[in-house]
Amino acid sequence: MPALLGIDIGTTGAKALLIDERGSVLATAAAAYGFATPGPGRAEQDPDDWWAATRTAIRQLLEHSAIAPARIAAVGLTGQMHGLIALGPRMRPVRPCIMWNDQRAIAECAAIERRIGREAIINIAGKPALPNFTAPKLLWLRAHEPQSYAATQHLVLTKDYVRLLLTGDLATDVNDASGTLLFDVGARTWSDTLIDALTVPRGWLPPVHESPAIVSAVSTSAARETGLIAGTPVIAGCGDQAADAVGLGVIDNEQTAITIGSSGVVFTSFDSYRTYATGTLHAYAHARPGAWHLMGVMLSAGASLRWFRDVGAAGETYETIAREAAQAPPGCEGLFFLPYLAGERTPHADPAARGAFVGLTLRHGRSHMIRAVLEGVTFGLLDGVRLVRDLGIRAPSLRVSGGGVRSALWRQILADTLGAEIVTLNVTEGAAFGAALLAGVGAGVFDDVAHAVRAAIRETSRTHLDPTAASACAMRGGAWRALYPALADSMHDLAAFATP
């Protein structure tokens, strides 16, 4: 029986996962790494940390399971999106990766819009110019680190740097490329218009493929480092959100899902290319060939809870602080949390947005603050769901994934706030699982992505909304949404004070 390997290069660690042809998880392993914050709004990682963690995770997976490497039919790759990894001589990074949550390229986004026009960018790239995306980071590199820019010979994305060290080949896929602002998302190819307008050397960009396509194989040197068999096929893969959507079975027209990881994502699949006129929802080519998706992203979802745990409940588990949050009443007795700890993308597209507790009184304790974080993140996700519903998509049920939805309390808050049934599935392994399913398509274990989903994914629970609680959430939601516009000018002033 073949096994399928999925590898996810995440924000805080690499995960390796093996599944069989029924989607049963055979083994998992993970290795952690950190990232640097060299200034306000900045985030960087050493790409070699990804490869070191990947090697460790694969070796642990093989050593602690009974799976022979020869059983692995194919490898699927996924990972964090939008990073800038500039390669120089000998395919080595010229500097650390500028990550997806980095906000430094604000001026470059304005320059891109002046040069190309906002409407044209949205029509071609499916999204406006924001500092999270790859092209603005490249223009920042050109302006601020000319020596690094001059040394650049290739651009790759996060998972594709791991591919390079795993296989020796440069390649990417239509989904991950959709997040660069250099890609024609509707046509599923690099955009001559955007590339020429931004004067990016075409030779820097790797070949692009559909996500399940086999494009390379494990090299002899990587086989020695990982324990895999040389020649094991490796597919193109995709970004983490599309892989997660495949793992949730969100591949059909107008299906909708929510993921609560470090970021929070509202994801809707389509059978044709659609853009959101204002660019508030971002369009991508889906990992399923012939499909596209719109995605709304809040930058600090689970990261907001992690931040509060680290500064206000150090050493405690998420399960412990979730139980503590349940001690506070819904609405937290008038306490709100704005989860803009790293700026925001959807719906505000404001890198200078800042987090805040609003409404603190002597009455409030730590349980109120924890629950306010859960509710504030959920109101942020509601902003994305409302945009989806503006397109005429009712989304009466939402498939959910990510660490946040392990909490029954948070699932109930989601149901009551979003006004929808919250559906969990047998899949709890996130993007690595979707990458493994795509590997199965590439290897011929499954006929296509739809076949893979039918074989592997089953519903496990539904959380129904409480109509009384939902009505109260709707009232509080209006007050919560009024806070950002009321505080935006002050947020921008504070962001300016923090800029060196």
Helix (H, G, I), strand (E, B) or coil at 281: coil
Query: Quick check: bond before 347 cis, omega within 30?
Result: yes
Task: Tell me the H-state helices in 271-395.
Answer: 302-312, 318-325, 366-390
Among residues 251, 267, 303, 292, which one has the least CA distance to residue 452?
A: 251
Structurally, at CATH architecture level, domain 3-242 sits in 2-Layer Sandwich (3.30)
Let me know if the fold of 3-242 is the same as that of 249-426+466-500.
yes
pLDDT higher at 378 or 315: 378
pLDDT of the residue at 314: 84
What separation in angstroms does the CA of 476 have from each of 297, 382, 470? 22, 12, 10
What pTM, to 2 d.p., does this model score?
0.90
Contact in structure between 5 and 155 (CB atoms under 8 Å): no
Residue 421 pLDDT greater than 70, yes or no = yes
In the chain, pLDDT over 90 holds for what percent of residues? 90
Amino acid at 446: F
pLDDT tens sequence across 437-486 = 999 999 999 999 999 999 999 999 999 999 999 999 999 999 999 999 99
Structurally, at CATH architecture level, domain 249-426+466-500 sits in 2-Layer Sandwich (3.30)
Give me the mean pLDDT over the 253-276 stretch: 93
pLDDT of the residue at 499: 64
Catalytically active residues are 240
pLDDT tens sequence across 136-162 = 999 999 999 999 999 999 999 999 999
Residue 345 pLDDT greater than 90, yes or no = no
Residue 498 pLDDT greater than 80, yes or no = no
pLDDT tens sequence across 103-138 = 899 999 999 999 999 999 999 999 999 999 999 999
pLDDT of the residue at 437: 98
- Residue 202 CA to residue 141 CA, distance in Å, equals 17
Q: How confident is the model at residue 427 (pLDDT cuts 50, 70, 90)?
A: confident
Residue 87 pLDDT greater than 60, yes or no = yes
Question: Domain coordinates of the chain in residue numbers?
Answer: 3-242, 249-426+466-500
The pair of structure tokens assigned to 131 is: 């500092």
pLDDT of the residue at 500: 56
Task: Tell me the H-state helices in 168-212.
Answer: 174-177, 192-197
Residue 249 buriedness (CB in 10 A; 0-12 / 13-18 / 19+)? buried
The pair of structure tokens assigned to 236 is: 């193109």
